Amino acid sequence: MAARASYTIELTAEQAKALRAAVTAKGFEFREVPHALFAAAGPKVQVVAYRSGKCVVQGKGTEEFVQFVLEPEVTGQAILGYEKVINPRAYEAHIGVDESGKGDFFGPLVTAGVYADASAIEALVGAGVKDSKAVTSDKRVAELAEAIAETPGARAEVIAISPAKYNELQQRMRTVNELLGWAHAKVIENMLGRVQCARAVSDQFARTEWTIRKHLGPRGRAIELEQRHKAESDPVVAAASIIARDRFVRALDGIGNEMGERILPGASAQVKALAVRLVRRHGAEAVSRVVKTHFKTWNEVLREAGAA
């Protein structure tokens, strides 16, 4: 397996302080990074500790830094290189499922599933596949999605619900979690029509596991379905998150081409201002087909655009 070029871990406040002291002692150069407690660069490695607790290590020296600095001096736990010992089931053949677009005002809701056998999982980890939220650029997401598609022993399945269809289904199903449960179950069923597999792993986005289970067909009901929080730590779920995000980003690009302006992800003030401009330019009906209208942002947009 190729050497790791990136590594992500959650640190406590005390561990972040210890890491800062360790890199300071080693002469790392510090720089400013948005939302970071600190960012520092040393020989063949860059370290960014975010206020959220996430720490990202990148560069050719990642493995050496993690194994000889981060683990012994900061966390006190030997994990890198021992993942298969700590969590062997994550390296057995299974399906991983994740989604993208749930919290984004513009664009579809994309649910992706990836099946990977044991050798493919090793290859995905070696290629640097990780939770898409830990990937810093759309370009890198696209590169990882291509790597997943080209990995022998890995297969992907995608369901992209367009904004117009999403709005229709959300009104019928009443909650986003219900819609997500249906989409996750559909992806699992479709994947099981293509591969033989005994287990699937998904993030637990609802209070009850029944949200997915009740939508499963005969094939899905026959396998083990594991739902847990922060499931993106599983390498196959992480691969699914990459596939879903890549498809979502491509969809935003398509909307941008249609609307004549770059479409932003999320639901920020900048996103709302963009939507107001588009409503004034194209009309509320046209824009309603590319946004999630149950967001409170939509009513705010209509009022500000004078279209309410």
Q: In terms of DSSP bridges, do strands 36-42 and 45-50 run parallel, antiparallel, or are they unpaired?
A: antiparallel
pLDDT digits (tens, 9 = 90+) for 2-37: 556 778 888 899 999 999 999 999 999 999 998 899
Quick check: 44 pLDDT over 60?
yes
**Average pLDDT of span 36-44:** 93
List the single range of 64-78, 81-95, 114-128 with lowest mean pLDDT.
81-95
Residue in 102, 206, 203 with CA at minimum distance from that of residue 160? 102
pLDDT band with cut points at 50, 70 and 90 for residue 87? low
Quick check: 85 pLDDT over 50?
no
**Average pLDDT of span 282-302:** 96
| Dist. CA 94–CA 24, nearest whole Å | 42
What residues have CB less than 8 Å from 294, skipping those under 6 apart? Answer: 167, 170, 171, 176
pLDDT digits (tens, 9 = 90+) for 172-223: 888 899 999 999 999 999 999 999 999 999 988 888 888 999 999 999 999 9
Cβ 109 vs Cβ 252: under 8 Å: no
Quick check: 252 pLDDT over 60?
yes
pLDDT at 134: 79
Quick check: 82 pLDDT over 70?
no
Q: In terms of DSSP bridges, do strands 29-31 and 36-42 run parallel, antiparallel, or are they unpaired?
A: antiparallel
Where is pLDDT greater, at 236 or 135?
236
List the single range of 47-51, 81-85, 110-114, 196-200 with lowest mean pLDDT.
81-85
pLDDT at 1: 46
The mean of the pLDDT values for the chain is 90
Quick check: 225 pLDDT over 70?
yes
| Dist. CA 108–CA 166, nearest whole Å | 7
Give φ, ψ of 179 to 5 degrees: -65, -40
List strand residue ranges (DSSP E) for the chain, in order. Answer: 6-10, 29-31, 36-42, 45-50, 54-58, 94-100, 109-116, 154-161, 199-203, 224-228
pLDDT digits (tens, 9 = 90+) for 98-109: 999 999 999 999
Query: CA 132 → CA 14, 25, 197, distances in Å?
Result: 27, 32, 24
